[in-house]
Structure 1
Amino acid sequence: MAAPAPRAPAPSCTLEIKAVPNAPRSAVAGWLGAALKVKVHAPALEGRANEELCEFLADALGVPRRAVTLVRGDKSRQKVVRIDGLDLATLRQRLDK
């Protein structure tokens, strides 16, 4: 009996974010070079804006919430998030609709 072929790793990518907290509603505001500008409805208190950012991105990209994680920038407006299940080309395609 042959061993199963190894699976290719699931696609994932990182995305630079310029977050703007306390917006009237969460929305993608466009690209600033390689960074995506995202307005977040939640205030920048006790990690609420980070949580809202991850939830909003997961919903906008059609991936589960657990697929979006904050890699860097916990207390900064400049953030890096990791998205599992999508490559960068697919991510850009879904956001540019």
Structure 2
Amino acid sequence: MFYKIEDEMVTLRIKAQPSASKSEFCEAYGEDAIKIRIKAPAVEGAANKELVKFLAKSFKVPKGDILFKAGEHSKIKTVVFPLNDTFKAWIAKTKEI
């Protein structure tokens, strides 16, 4: 499972693919990560900034609430942010596919 919910916080494991034509969610990456294409290149933290911006917009969470738990300088990243109804709805929709 690419996410874990604990104490009203979401831990999301991500396989980041920088320099894509647009930022978007993709398929599962293995059994424990989700692949996300990121529009920005992996130069001077630009991809990480774009990833945070994309997640904040997608899940309606303030950018400051999204924290890197691991992998800030790796393609496999773990981020943590507060659980909300938008994320719950996204998970429900994702499971339907």
Q: TM-score, normalised by structure 1?
A: 0.76
Paired residue for 2:43, among 36, 42, 45? 45
Aligned-partner residue type, residue 51 of structure 2: L
Higher alpha-carbon Rg: 1
Relative contact order: is structure 1 or structure 2 higher (C-alpha 8 Å, sep ≥ 6)? 1
Which residue number corresponds to residue 29 of structure 1? 26
Long gaps (5+) in structure 2? 1-6
Distance in structure 2 (CA, Å) of the matches to 1:94 and 1:46: 35
Residues paired across the two proteins, number: 87
Shift of the 13–91 alpha-carbon distance from structure 1 to 2, 3 Å rule, reads farther
Provide the identity percentage: 33
User: Which 4+ runs in 1 deviate beyond 6 A?
Assistant: none
Distance in structure 1 (CA, Å) of the matches to 2:39 and 2:91: 24
Long gaps (5+) in structure 1? 1-9
1:54 partnered with 2:32: no
RMSD of equivalent CA atoms: 2.4
Kindly indicate whether the alpha-carbon contact (under 8 Å) linking 1:22 and 1:42 is maintained by their aligned counterparts in 2. Answer: yes
More helix by share: 2
Which residue number corresponds to residue 61 of structure 2? 63
